[in-house]
Amino acid sequence: MAFENLTDREKQVLANLISYYIQSADPVGSRVIANKFAMGISSATVRNTLQDLEELGLVEQPHTSAGRIPTDLGYRVYVDYLLKPEDLTEEEKQVIRNTLLREGRGIDEILGQTSHILGDITNQLGVTIAPQFDRGQLTSLRLIPVAEDRVMVIVVVQSGLAKSVILEVKTQVDHRALQEVEAVLNERLAGLTLGEIRRTIDERLAGVRDEGRLINLIIDSKDKIWTDASKSEIRLAGADHLLSQPEFSDRERISGLVRLLEDGRILSDFLRQAEKEGLIISIGRENKFSEIFDCSLVTSSYQVGDISGTIGVIGPTRMAYSKLASVVEYTARTISDVLSGIDHEKEDESS
């Protein structure tokens, strides 16, 4: 079905039906549309138009005598062609920016708070996924003694993000030896992605002399140091918002969703499709898992140098797409700015 083949009346009736249904959660009748939206046509004309939309697969009747509700295809047409983004208020923007711009916090705290912001503002389930360090290029590596038998390895990637790992050494390593090993590691590994280092570190460090055997320890610990520990780090907030939605009054339906959410790796791998692609809205059965066939996902990527992550919201297909798309996009841009050390609003004020 080509959207271009819809008449202006069909487009307007579909948009009005979805708009009302998002607010009411009740099937919408022709009389409601005719009276509520003052379209200048009779309820009989609206009813005929709804029948045409039903034949096109854009709306359906949940019960014989009930009004209509949108189908997944109806929502897709609405999102792709009829959606008018709703601007955020200055207050909403300020809440997002003030929360994310607090100083002295790392990426874990920022992403954790972001999931709460998304959940609270949208009344849906807020989701954030940490950036994939695996794709980041190594800028520098530091070896810092933290105890007689422990060394902290700090890995800094090109975006400025860092991760640290504690290694236990069998013998005490003096400061000079640490400096020498640190210099060798930076010389041979800087500029490579963490994934490349993990796959080839054995060959790249072959033949390096190391009396304290620290090099061997670092090679043996490659999965610990260079593996992207954030792959399963998905943060969720606002589950209570989902439970309050009429779509999830069915205990079996909500239990299936909860099982999926509990397995963070499966969902995070699915949500990473948004990385490098900007805003993505997936609706109902467009989603990969049956547990979220009744849900829509609004996700967007944020960028930190050469690596990216994903944020978004999960809720019933009956969601306020126009508002949610604006919230997710603005929050993703703000995270990118904050983690990159940029504050465009301050720049605008000073110019």
Average pLDDT over residues 154-168: 82
CA distance 304 to 275: 12
> Hey, what long-range contacts does 50-53 have (CB within 8 A, 24 or more apart)?
50/13, 50/17, 52/10, 53/10, 53/13, 53/14
Q: Tokens at residue 201, please?
A: 């570190």
Q: Domains (ranges, CATH) in the chain?
A: 7-82 (1.10.10.10), 90-132+230-343 (3.30.450.40), 134-227 (3.30.390.60)
The residues, ordered by sequence, that sit 6+ positions from 330 with a Cβ below 8 Å of its Cβ are 88, 93, 96
Residue 320 near residue 177, CB atoms below 8 Å: no
CA distance 204 to 202: 6
pLDDT in tens, 54-108: 999 999 998 877 799 999 999 999 999 999 889 999 999 999 998 888 754 667 7
Average pLDDT over residues 262-278: 70
Q: DSSP letter for 137, please.
A: B
Average pLDDT over residues 322-333: 94
**pLDDT over 80 (residue 222):** yes
Decide: pTM greater than 0.95. Answer: no
